[in-house]
Structure 1
Amino acid sequence: AVVTALWRGKLGVVSGPSHDGRSFSVRYPLDLPRSPQGAPVMVQAGASDEGRDLAAQTADVVFTAAQTYEEAKAFYDDLKGRLATYGREPDDIKIMPGVAPVVAATEAEATAKYEELQELIPDDVGVALLSSYLSISDLWRYPIDGPL
């Protein structure tokens, strides 16, 4: 709330929001020009229930890492459905899928580049990602190159 109040303030106005808190203190006015849109773009990237509520309440843009069209559509519908709770319209938020394109001159070269990139993923990161995708929390108990 303090940061939002500071963003909405006017440069040169000598009175406005101030804050003395446990973590920080700030005095109005800021000596910075306003951005063209009036405030920084709020970007959010959490997909938990709490993250989706935060996005519905405050975000201008949300990133999603859905792995399938069905997951992406469910995320989109859920998030857009939460906006009304906070007095917002569906067009008040943009949802951007996480995309990691691999570009090369040919499909074969792109495939080779993709496979090379996959080899660079540390084992612990790969297991964590796979655990997340499969909703299995203890994949480390299995041999990394063995059967599940």
Structure 2
Amino acid sequence: MMAFNSNPISLHTVKKQLKSIVHIEPIWIDMCLNSCCAYTESYRKLTKCPVCGSERFQHKKPCKQYSYFSLIERLTIQYRNYDRAKELRYRTNYTSQKLYKCNIQIGDVFDGDHYKELVQNGHFQDERDVALLASVDGYQIFRQKSDDCWILLFICSRNSS
């Protein structure tokens, strides 16, 4: 693997350097062995699945877990950078323009009826609120079709121009 120069660099070194720059750790959640539930909220203290009855732990370790990265944590990190914080306020800047208030044309997702309905229902009240587009895709990892993986992608809604 090469990174910016001709000297080979290991994946371990890249991970170590990235971790020193941006500290983001996955959050691990216990889940039912059969994927019936996640042990969160009211299920947090359960030791058996309320749906299928399977044990949560084997030898004091969770039988199955899933991980995710905190969206709030990632946005907090981005807001610490002045330039990125300005970019994240694109929605506020766009919807504050005179032309936006005229309601003449659709030039962005924020001109659409769905966004305006969300605003009327009390969303996006803070200038730092960020609108996200979401995409979900799942796939099976092995031929046995015993495991699958779901990818959730969130994209900050802002005009690329």
Q: Which has the higher helix share?
A: 1
Query: Shorter chain as normaliser: what TM range?
Result: under 0.3
Q: Which has the higher strand share?
A: 2
Using structure 1 for the length normalisation, give the TM-score. Answer: 0.27
